[in-house]
Amino acid sequence: MVNIVVLISGSGTNLQAILDCLPHHRTSTPLPAAPALQLPESVRISGVISNKSNVYGLDRAKQCDPPIPTKVTALKTYLNRNPGSTRQDWELELSRTVNSFQPDLIVLAGFMMILSPTFLNNINAKPIINLHPALPGAFDGAHAIERAFEAYKEGKITKTGCMVHYVIPEVDRGEPIVIADVDILPTDTLDSMETRIHETEWKIIVQGVKKVLNV
């Protein structure tokens, strides 16, 4: 089996986009759009890890048939339970949790924590990829979609996009794997532009997985 470990922080629509392309998992919460791509039978998601409890992405994994193992590793909870521990300790704990699912590929799909070399160096040299809702170098970090919309209104950009890239210590700066442009229309609201970006993300996350696994 080829194991993917997915890290999330929220609703997990991009986790779902991968699930919808995996014949191995029957899912009860598919995305509205039928997937255009399929992943081979040999690929599965061996674990889903969230840094937040009570997020819908965890339910998506649990409601699969067969269910996908999940784990919550929240920074604040970890620090409270381990007096004197640091964020670096939490990252080590997170890397151990990831490794326990024996990943061949680690996918950050809406995982909203920055990971330092403490995590990256402890991941058994497996590729780590991230989905980011902006074009390379354009709006690194949080609230990229909102910042792109503001920049459009100020006449600074005419289009935006999203990308899947390798993870390096510099946030959202790793080598791009898949890049997709997303038009911004004069009639767009933040919501309508955001919807178009998300629908594009659901495609490129699967393209990125396929490319990195070479399947």
- Please report, as residue ranges, which positions from 155 to 174 form the binding site for ligand GAR (by CB under 6 A): none
- Nearer to ligand GAR by Cβ, of 12 and 103: the residue is 12
Q: Do 178 and 211 touch, CB atoms closer than 8 A?
A: yes
Contact track, ligand GAR, 47-76, x by CB under 6 A: ----------x-------------------
Exactly one of 43, 107, 144, 177 binds ligand GAR (CB under 6 A); that residue is 144
Cβ burial of 192 (10 Å; 0-12, 13-18, 19+) is exposed
In sequence order, the 6+-apart residues with CB closer than 8 A to the CB of 76 are: none
Q: Tell me how far the alpha carbon of residue 69 is from its chain's centroid.
A: 17
- CB-closest chain residue to ligand GAR: 110
Peptide bond into 66 cis (omega under 30): yes
In angstroms, the CA 102 to CA 112 distance is 22
User: Beta-strand (E) ranges in 41-151?
Assistant: 43-50, 70-72, 105-108, 128-132
Candidate list 105, 123, 131, 135; residue touching ligand GAR; CB under 6 A: 131
110 makes contact with ligand GAR (CB under 6 A):
yes
At its nearest, how many Å lie between ligand GAR and the CB of residue 206? 12
Pick the binder of ligand GAR from 52, 60, 132, 210 (CB under 6 A). Answer: 132
Catalytically active residues are 132
- Judged by the rule CB under 6 A, the positions of this chain that interact with ligand GAR are 8, 10-14, 57, 109-110, 131-133, 144, 198, 201
